[in-house]
Amino acid sequence: MVLRKSPYRVWTPLAVAAFVAVASCPAAAQWAWKDDNGRTVYSDRPPPASVNTDRIVRQPPNKQTVLPPSVSGADSAPRPATDAKATAPAAAPAAPKSLAEQEMEFRKRQQERADAEKKAQDEQTKLAAKAADCERAKGYLRAVEGGERITRTDAAGNREYLDDAQRAAEAERTRKLVQATCN
């Protein structure tokens, strides 16, 4: 009798290994630096401006990451950017943007695009409503000018028929409506 290995015994170690590999990926994008007390600080954000570059132990491998400028305005030792192009003379264009700045710009562009799409959709809805109103007014004008009997309901709910003078007035009013709506 031949015993076969259960497929669970084969796939379970592979699944655990894959989970460990995936779970450890975010740890690679972390900062590490020594604080004033000599303790190592780990964070997913760059260190504060008061931390000198010689105390930074590890930073994400992204070439475009630039340490943020001093927010407090305090005089601290200048820290060079991680990209050699960013330390070029002042004649060079702006330094590469940090991931946070790129994310903010992306979200801004995304919001602007959504606003533009909403504006275009609202404009299209207005045009469609205006076209429907125009067609409705033209249809009513054809009915008024066609010679068919037209009735109205008064405030009491009684039906009344338009005579020739009322029909002419209604036709004139509808022409003005068509001219205003369809142009």
- Over residues 129-167, the pLDDT tens digits come to 999 999 999 998 898 888 788 888 889 999 988 888 888
Q: What is the pLDDT of residue 159?
A: 92
How far from chain centre, in Å, is Cα 8? 44
User: What residue spans define the domains of the chain?
Assistant: 101-182
137 touches 177 (CB < 8 A): yes
Which residue reads 């972390």 in tokens?
30
State yes or no: pLDDT of 8 exceeds 90.
no
Report d(CA 10, CA 14) in Å as an integer: 7
Helix (H, G, I), strand (E, B) or coil at 40: strand
Distance set, CA 2 to CA 5, 44, 60, 131, 162 (Å): 10, 53, 52, 79, 99
Which residue reads 């076209």 in tokens?
131
